[in-house]
Structure 1
Amino acid sequence: MLFNWYHTEFTISIVLFPDDLIELGRVVSSYGIKGLLKIYPYSKDKSSLLSVYDWWVLPCKCQSYHCVCQSNFINYKILSSRIYNDYILSKISGVVNREEAEMFRGNRIYISKSLFPKIENDEYYWVDLIGCKFYGELEDGSSIFIGEVSDVFDNGAHSILKIIKNHNTGSSLNKKEILVPFVKHYINKVDLIDRIILSSWLIEY
Protein backbone atom coordinates (compact mmCIF):
# COMPACT_ATOMS: atom_id res chain seq x y z
CA MET A 1 0.00 0.00 0.00
CA LEU A 2 1.00 3.64 -0.52
CA PHE A 3 0.42 6.48 1.89
CA ASN A 4 -0.93 10.01 1.84
CA TRP A 5 -0.05 12.11 4.87
CA TYR A 6 -2.30 14.87 6.21
CA HIS A 7 -0.84 17.13 8.90
CA THR A 8 -2.61 19.75 11.01
CA GLU A 9 -1.58 21.54 14.17
CA PHE A 10 -3.29 18.87 16.24
CA THR A 11 -3.29 15.59 14.33
CA ILE A 12 -1.38 13.50 11.82
CA SER A 13 -3.44 10.91 9.94
CA ILE A 14 -2.54 8.35 7.30
CA VAL A 15 -4.78 7.51 4.37
CA LEU A 16 -3.98 4.22 2.68
CA PHE A 17 -4.55 3.77 -1.03
CA PRO A 18 -3.85 0.77 -3.28
CA ASP A 19 -0.48 0.55 -5.02
CA ASP A 20 -2.07 -0.90 -8.16
CA LEU A 21 -4.17 2.10 -9.19
CA ILE A 22 -4.76 2.46 -12.93
CA GLU A 23 -5.87 5.72 -14.54
CA LEU A 24 -8.98 5.00 -16.61
CA GLY A 25 -10.53 8.35 -17.39
CA ARG A 26 -10.89 12.05 -16.76
CA VAL A 27 -13.79 14.25 -15.68
CA VAL A 28 -14.59 16.65 -18.51
CA SER A 29 -17.59 18.43 -16.99
CA SER A 30 -20.69 18.17 -14.86
CA TYR A 31 -23.94 16.91 -16.39
CA GLY A 32 -27.44 18.01 -15.47
CA ILE A 33 -28.58 19.66 -12.26
CA LYS A 34 -28.28 16.64 -9.94
CA GLY A 35 -24.50 16.51 -9.72
CA LEU A 36 -23.57 13.88 -12.31
CA LEU A 37 -19.98 13.75 -13.58
CA LYS A 38 -19.33 13.46 -17.31
CA ILE A 39 -16.24 11.26 -17.72
CA TYR A 40 -14.11 10.59 -20.78
CA PRO A 41 -12.87 6.97 -20.60
CA TYR A 42 -9.43 6.27 -22.08
CA SER A 43 -10.47 2.87 -23.41
CA LYS A 44 -13.37 1.64 -25.52
CA ASP A 45 -13.82 -1.07 -22.89
CA LYS A 46 -15.75 0.78 -20.19
CA SER A 47 -16.51 -2.28 -18.04
CA SER A 48 -14.25 -1.30 -15.14
CA LEU A 49 -15.66 2.20 -14.83
CA LEU A 50 -19.20 0.84 -15.07
CA SER A 51 -18.89 -2.06 -12.64
CA VAL A 52 -16.49 -0.82 -9.94
CA TYR A 53 -17.99 1.51 -7.32
CA ASP A 54 -14.81 2.33 -5.43
CA TRP A 55 -12.85 5.08 -7.20
CA TRP A 56 -9.74 7.01 -6.35
CA VAL A 57 -9.80 10.55 -7.72
CA LEU A 58 -6.70 12.65 -8.30
CA PRO A 59 -7.57 16.37 -8.24
CA CYS A 60 -5.89 17.81 -11.33
CA LYS A 61 -6.18 21.02 -13.29
CA CYS A 62 -3.16 20.65 -15.54
CA GLN A 63 -3.31 19.49 -19.15
CA SER A 64 -0.19 17.32 -18.97
CA TYR A 65 -0.32 13.65 -20.01
CA HIS A 66 1.14 12.82 -16.59
CA CYS A 67 -0.29 14.93 -13.79
CA VAL A 68 2.20 17.37 -12.27
CA CYS A 69 -0.19 18.91 -9.75
CA GLN A 70 1.28 16.89 -6.85
CA SER A 71 -2.21 16.29 -5.49
CA ASN A 72 -3.31 13.53 -3.13
CA PHE A 73 -5.73 10.73 -4.03
CA ILE A 74 -9.23 10.96 -2.59
CA ASN A 75 -11.47 7.92 -2.29
CA TYR A 76 -15.09 8.18 -3.42
CA LYS A 77 -18.00 5.76 -3.49
CA ILE A 78 -19.92 5.65 -6.76
CA LEU A 79 -23.70 5.35 -6.55
CA SER A 80 -24.36 4.73 -10.25
CA SER A 81 -22.74 4.86 -13.69
CA ARG A 82 -24.12 4.64 -17.21
CA ILE A 83 -22.95 5.10 -20.78
CA TYR A 84 -23.75 8.37 -22.54
CA ASN A 85 -22.50 8.31 -26.15
CA ASP A 86 -18.70 8.08 -25.87
CA TYR A 87 -18.76 9.16 -22.22
CA ILE A 88 -19.80 7.81 -18.85
CA LEU A 89 -22.14 9.61 -16.49
CA SER A 90 -21.48 8.84 -12.83
CA LYS A 91 -23.08 9.82 -9.55
CA ILE A 92 -20.66 10.23 -6.63
CA SER A 93 -21.83 9.92 -3.05
CA GLY A 94 -22.18 13.34 -1.46
CA VAL A 95 -22.27 15.32 -4.72
CA VAL A 96 -25.79 16.66 -5.09
CA ASN A 97 -25.74 19.57 -7.55
CA ARG A 98 -24.06 20.98 -10.64
CA GLU A 99 -21.84 23.36 -8.68
CA GLU A 100 -20.34 20.55 -6.59
CA ALA A 101 -19.86 18.37 -9.68
CA GLU A 102 -18.07 21.19 -11.51
CA MET A 103 -15.38 21.10 -8.82
CA PHE A 104 -14.31 17.73 -10.25
CA ARG A 105 -13.64 19.09 -13.75
CA GLY A 106 -10.22 17.92 -14.95
CA ASN A 107 -9.81 15.38 -12.15
CA ARG A 108 -8.40 11.96 -13.06
CA ILE A 109 -10.17 8.71 -12.25
CA TYR A 110 -8.23 5.70 -10.94
CA ILE A 111 -9.37 2.20 -9.99
CA SER A 112 -7.47 -0.59 -8.26
CA LYS A 113 -6.52 -3.22 -10.83
CA SER A 114 -7.51 -5.92 -8.34
CA LEU A 115 -11.13 -4.82 -8.83
CA PHE A 116 -11.13 -5.07 -12.62
CA PRO A 117 -13.74 -7.51 -14.01
CA LYS A 118 -12.35 -10.89 -15.02
CA ILE A 119 -11.72 -11.34 -18.75
CA GLU A 120 -11.31 -14.30 -21.11
CA ASN A 121 -7.91 -15.87 -21.78
CA ASP A 122 -7.63 -14.23 -25.20
CA GLU A 123 -8.60 -10.77 -23.91
CA TYR A 124 -6.28 -8.16 -22.47
CA TYR A 125 -6.52 -4.89 -20.64
CA TRP A 126 -4.72 -2.12 -22.49
CA VAL A 127 -2.75 -1.21 -19.37
CA ASP A 128 -1.18 -4.69 -19.45
CA LEU A 129 -0.02 -4.27 -23.05
CA ILE A 130 1.75 -0.94 -22.53
CA GLY A 131 5.46 -1.48 -21.97
CA CYS A 132 5.56 -4.90 -23.65
CA LYS A 133 8.40 -5.58 -26.08
CA PHE A 134 7.02 -5.95 -29.59
CA TYR A 135 8.58 -8.33 -32.14
CA GLY A 136 7.91 -8.45 -35.87
CA GLU A 137 9.13 -10.66 -38.73
CA LEU A 138 11.80 -10.39 -41.36
CA GLU A 139 11.14 -11.60 -44.90
CA ASP A 140 12.81 -14.94 -44.05
CA GLY A 141 10.32 -15.51 -41.22
CA SER A 142 12.71 -14.84 -38.33
CA SER A 143 11.70 -12.57 -35.46
CA ILE A 144 13.15 -9.14 -34.82
CA PHE A 145 12.66 -6.73 -31.94
CA ILE A 146 10.86 -3.61 -33.18
CA GLY A 147 10.25 -1.60 -30.03
CA GLU A 148 7.96 -1.16 -27.04
CA VAL A 149 4.23 -0.58 -26.84
CA SER A 150 3.76 3.01 -25.66
CA ASP A 151 0.00 3.34 -26.06
CA VAL A 152 -3.16 1.49 -27.05
CA PHE A 153 -6.16 3.21 -28.58
CA ASP A 154 -9.29 2.31 -30.48
CA ASN A 155 -10.02 3.32 -34.08
CA GLY A 156 -13.65 2.25 -34.03
CA ALA A 157 -13.04 -1.17 -35.60
CA HIS A 158 -10.34 -2.62 -33.33
CA SER A 159 -7.53 -1.70 -30.97
CA ILE A 160 -4.28 -0.22 -32.27
CA LEU A 161 -0.84 -0.66 -30.70
CA LYS A 162 1.47 2.34 -30.84
CA ILE A 163 5.06 1.08 -30.98
CA ILE A 164 8.03 3.32 -30.19
CA LYS A 165 10.74 1.86 -32.39
CA ASN A 166 14.08 0.59 -31.22
CA HIS A 167 16.67 2.95 -32.78
CA ASN A 168 18.63 -0.08 -33.99
CA THR A 169 15.72 -1.34 -36.09
CA GLY A 170 16.59 -0.01 -39.51
CA SER A 171 13.64 -0.43 -41.79
CA SER A 172 12.30 1.22 -44.87
CA LEU A 173 9.49 2.61 -42.75
CA ASN A 174 11.98 5.17 -41.43
CA LYS A 175 9.68 6.24 -38.59
CA LYS A 176 10.19 6.66 -34.87
CA GLU A 177 6.89 4.92 -34.22
CA ILE A 178 4.54 2.55 -36.00
CA LEU A 179 0.87 1.63 -35.52
CA VAL A 180 -0.08 -2.04 -35.55
CA PRO A 181 -3.68 -3.36 -35.48
CA PHE A 182 -4.19 -5.59 -32.46
CA VAL A 183 -5.90 -8.36 -34.42
CA LYS A 184 -5.21 -12.07 -34.86
CA HIS A 185 -4.03 -11.52 -38.42
CA TYR A 186 -0.90 -9.80 -37.04
CA ILE A 187 -0.65 -10.83 -33.39
CA ASN A 188 0.73 -14.34 -32.87
CA LYS A 189 1.30 -14.42 -29.11
CA VAL A 190 0.96 -12.20 -26.06
CA ASP A 191 3.10 -13.18 -23.06
CA LEU A 192 2.30 -10.87 -20.15
CA ILE A 193 4.67 -12.69 -17.79
CA ASP A 194 7.72 -11.98 -19.94
CA ARG A 195 6.12 -8.77 -21.30
CA ILE A 196 6.51 -9.86 -24.95
CA ILE A 197 4.22 -9.60 -27.99
CA LEU A 198 5.13 -11.71 -31.02
CA SER A 199 3.66 -10.68 -34.35
CA SER A 200 3.79 -11.33 -38.08
CA TRP A 201 4.23 -7.60 -38.76
CA LEU A 202 6.69 -7.55 -41.64
CA ILE A 203 9.84 -5.45 -41.40
CA GLU A 204 11.51 -4.76 -44.72
CA TYR A 205 15.11 -3.65 -45.04
Structure 2
Amino acid sequence: MRKEECFYLGKIAKKFSFKGEVLIYLDTDEPELYENLESVFVDHNKHLVPFFIETSSLHKNDFLRVRFEDVNNEEEADALVGNAIYLPLSMLPKLSGNKFYFHEVIGFEIEDQRLGVFGKITSINDSSAQPLFEVLNGEVEILVPMIDHFLVKIDRENKKVIMNLPEGLVEMYL
Protein backbone atom coordinates (compact mmCIF):
# COMPACT_ATOMS: atom_id res chain seq x y z
CA MET A 1 0.00 0.00 0.00
CA ARG A 2 1.31 3.47 -0.93
CA LYS A 3 0.65 6.69 0.98
CA GLU A 4 -1.09 8.15 -2.07
CA GLU A 5 -3.73 5.43 -1.68
CA CYS A 6 -4.27 6.20 2.01
CA PHE A 7 -5.39 8.93 4.35
CA TYR A 8 -3.74 10.06 7.56
CA LEU A 9 -5.78 8.96 10.58
CA GLY A 10 -3.49 10.02 13.41
CA LYS A 11 -0.36 8.97 15.22
CA ILE A 12 0.75 6.68 17.99
CA ALA A 13 0.98 9.16 20.86
CA LYS A 14 2.32 7.02 23.69
CA LYS A 15 2.47 3.57 25.19
CA PHE A 16 -0.34 2.76 27.56
CA SER A 17 0.51 -0.36 29.51
CA PHE A 18 3.30 -2.80 30.23
CA LYS A 19 1.46 -5.31 27.99
CA GLY A 20 2.33 -3.38 24.83
CA GLU A 21 -0.82 -1.31 24.42
CA VAL A 22 -0.57 2.13 22.81
CA LEU A 23 -2.74 5.23 22.55
CA ILE A 24 -3.37 6.46 19.03
CA TYR A 25 -4.33 10.11 18.66
CA LEU A 26 -7.18 10.18 16.10
CA ASP A 27 -7.09 13.31 13.93
CA THR A 28 -10.80 13.22 13.13
CA ASP A 29 -14.07 14.82 14.16
CA GLU A 30 -15.70 11.39 14.50
CA PRO A 31 -13.36 9.05 16.42
CA GLU A 32 -16.19 6.58 17.04
CA LEU A 33 -16.07 5.61 13.34
CA TYR A 34 -12.66 4.04 13.93
CA GLU A 35 -13.25 2.21 17.21
CA ASN A 36 -13.51 -1.29 15.72
CA LEU A 37 -10.74 -1.41 13.13
CA GLU A 38 -9.21 -4.75 12.23
CA SER A 39 -5.91 -3.27 11.07
CA VAL A 40 -4.05 -0.04 10.31
CA PHE A 41 -0.95 0.93 8.36
CA VAL A 42 1.90 2.28 10.48
CA ASP A 43 4.44 4.57 8.80
CA HIS A 44 7.59 2.81 9.98
CA ASN A 45 10.93 3.84 8.43
CA LYS A 46 9.10 5.52 5.52
CA HIS A 47 7.17 2.34 4.67
CA LEU A 48 3.53 1.59 5.41
CA VAL A 49 3.49 -1.60 7.46
CA PRO A 50 0.19 -3.36 8.25
CA PHE A 51 -0.48 -3.92 11.94
CA PHE A 52 -3.39 -6.11 13.00
CA ILE A 53 -5.45 -5.04 16.00
CA GLU A 54 -6.19 -7.52 18.75
CA THR A 55 -8.32 -5.16 20.87
CA SER A 56 -9.26 -1.49 20.76
CA SER A 57 -11.46 0.97 22.61
CA LEU A 58 -11.97 4.71 22.65
CA HIS A 59 -10.00 6.45 25.37
CA LYS A 60 -11.00 9.95 26.44
CA ASN A 61 -12.17 11.97 23.43
CA ASP A 62 -9.57 11.72 20.70
CA PHE A 63 -7.61 8.58 21.51
CA LEU A 64 -7.93 4.95 20.60
CA ARG A 65 -6.43 2.46 23.04
CA VAL A 66 -5.00 -0.37 20.93
CA ARG A 67 -3.32 -3.68 21.46
CA PHE A 68 -1.62 -4.84 18.27
CA GLU A 69 -0.96 -8.49 17.49
CA ASP A 70 2.73 -9.34 18.06
CA VAL A 71 3.36 -6.24 20.22
CA ASN A 72 3.61 -7.76 23.67
CA ASN A 73 5.65 -5.46 25.89
CA GLU A 74 6.64 -1.88 26.64
CA GLU A 75 9.80 -1.98 24.53
CA GLU A 76 7.97 -3.14 21.41
CA ALA A 77 5.26 -0.51 21.97
CA ASP A 78 7.85 2.19 22.62
CA ALA A 79 9.40 1.54 19.18
CA LEU A 80 6.06 2.52 17.58
CA VAL A 81 5.49 5.79 19.48
CA GLY A 82 5.45 8.83 17.20
CA ASN A 83 4.66 6.89 14.02
CA ALA A 84 1.79 8.03 11.81
CA ILE A 85 -1.26 5.83 11.23
CA TYR A 86 -2.93 5.49 7.82
CA LEU A 87 -5.98 3.76 6.38
CA PRO A 88 -6.93 3.09 2.73
CA LEU A 89 -8.90 5.89 1.04
CA SER A 90 -11.68 3.36 0.45
CA MET A 91 -12.38 3.40 4.21
CA LEU A 92 -13.32 7.08 4.29
CA PRO A 93 -17.04 7.58 4.90
CA LYS A 94 -18.77 8.86 1.74
CA LEU A 95 -19.66 12.55 1.85
CA SER A 96 -22.44 14.22 -0.07
CA GLY A 97 -23.72 17.70 -0.74
CA ASN A 98 -21.16 20.43 -0.14
CA LYS A 99 -19.05 18.38 2.24
CA PHE A 100 -15.85 17.06 0.71
CA TYR A 101 -12.43 15.67 1.46
CA PHE A 102 -9.54 17.83 0.32
CA HIS A 103 -8.06 15.07 -1.85
CA GLU A 104 -11.29 14.49 -3.79
CA VAL A 105 -11.48 17.99 -5.34
CA ILE A 106 -7.91 18.04 -6.63
CA GLY A 107 -8.22 18.27 -10.43
CA PHE A 108 -11.75 19.73 -10.29
CA GLU A 109 -12.45 22.89 -12.29
CA ILE A 110 -13.37 25.89 -10.17
CA GLU A 111 -16.16 28.14 -11.36
CA ASP A 112 -17.35 31.50 -10.11
CA GLN A 113 -21.03 32.26 -10.72
CA ARG A 114 -20.10 35.65 -12.15
CA LEU A 115 -16.86 34.86 -14.05
CA GLY A 116 -17.40 31.24 -15.09
CA VAL A 117 -14.62 28.63 -14.98
CA PHE A 118 -11.29 30.24 -14.10
CA GLY A 119 -8.96 27.32 -13.48
CA LYS A 120 -8.26 23.88 -12.02
CA ILE A 121 -7.66 23.07 -8.37
CA THR A 122 -4.09 21.77 -8.11
CA SER A 123 -3.90 21.42 -4.33
CA ILE A 124 -5.24 22.56 -0.98
CA ASN A 125 -3.12 24.74 1.29
CA ASP A 126 -4.20 24.02 4.85
CA SER A 127 -1.06 25.27 6.59
CA SER A 128 -2.76 28.45 7.81
CA ALA A 129 -5.91 29.12 9.82
CA GLN A 130 -7.92 29.51 6.59
CA PRO A 131 -7.55 26.65 4.07
CA LEU A 132 -7.12 27.76 0.46
CA PHE A 133 -7.79 26.22 -2.93
CA GLU A 134 -4.63 26.54 -5.02
CA VAL A 135 -5.94 27.10 -8.54
CA LEU A 136 -3.95 27.17 -11.77
CA ASN A 137 -5.13 29.52 -14.53
CA GLY A 138 -2.61 29.06 -17.35
CA GLU A 139 0.67 29.97 -15.65
CA VAL A 140 -0.97 32.01 -12.87
CA GLU A 141 -1.65 30.54 -9.42
CA ILE A 142 -4.79 31.86 -7.75
CA LEU A 143 -5.46 31.35 -4.04
CA VAL A 144 -9.15 31.02 -3.20
CA PRO A 145 -10.31 30.92 0.44
CA MET A 146 -12.35 27.85 1.30
CA ILE A 147 -15.18 29.68 3.04
CA ASP A 148 -18.57 27.97 3.38
CA HIS A 149 -20.32 31.27 2.62
CA PHE A 150 -18.60 31.40 -0.82
CA LEU A 151 -19.24 27.74 -1.68
CA VAL A 152 -22.35 27.19 -3.80
CA LYS A 153 -22.00 23.56 -4.88
CA ILE A 154 -19.63 20.62 -5.16
CA ASP A 155 -20.57 19.08 -8.52
CA ARG A 156 -18.93 15.66 -8.31
CA GLU A 157 -20.54 14.45 -11.54
CA ASN A 158 -18.98 17.25 -13.63
CA LYS A 159 -15.90 17.61 -11.40
CA LYS A 160 -16.54 21.26 -10.55
CA VAL A 161 -16.46 23.43 -7.46
CA ILE A 162 -18.95 26.26 -7.95
CA MET A 163 -18.46 29.39 -5.87
CA ASN A 164 -19.88 32.88 -5.46
CA LEU A 165 -16.72 34.89 -4.84
CA PRO A 166 -16.45 38.56 -3.91
CA GLU A 167 -15.81 40.83 -6.86
CA GLY A 168 -12.11 41.44 -7.39
CA LEU A 169 -10.83 38.33 -5.59
CA VAL A 170 -9.97 36.42 -8.77
CA GLU A 171 -9.33 39.50 -10.91
CA MET A 172 -6.47 40.69 -8.69
CA TYR A 173 -4.44 37.67 -9.88
CA LEU A 174 -5.17 38.09 -13.60
TM over 0.5: same fold?
Answer: yes
Q: Which residue of 2 aligns with 1:74?
A: 50
Supply the distance in 2 between the matched residues of 1:34 and 1:49 (Cα, whole angstroms).
22
Match of 1:180 among 121, 130, 146: 146
Task: Output the CA distance in 1 between the equivalents of 2:75 and 2:112.
Answer: 55
2:41 counterpart (56, 61, 65): 56
Matched, 1:166 2:136: yes
Distance 1:45 1:148 in 2: 27
Matched, 1:121 2:96: yes
How many residues were matched structurally? 167
Counterpart Cα distance in 2 of 1:162 and 1:136? 15
TM-score under structure 1 length normalisation: 0.59
- Structure 2: which 5+ residue stretches go unaligned? none
Match of 1:39?
24
Which one has a larger percent helix, Structure 1 or Structure 2? 2
Ranges of 4+ aligned residues in structure 1 off by more than 6 Å:
none
Take 2:58 and 2:137, find their aligned partners in 1: how far apart are those partners?
A: 44
Structure 1 unaligned runs (5+)? 3-16, 61-68
> TM-score, normalised on structure 2?
0.67
CA RMSD of aligned residues (A): 3.7
Shift of 1:59: 0.6
1:1-205 map, 5 Å: 20-60=5-45, 69=46, 71-117=47-93, 119=94, 121-122=96-97, 124=99, 126=101, 128-133=103-108, 135-137=110-112, 141-145=114-118, 147-151=121-125, 161-166=131-136, 177-181=143-147, 183=148, 185-204=149-168, 205=171
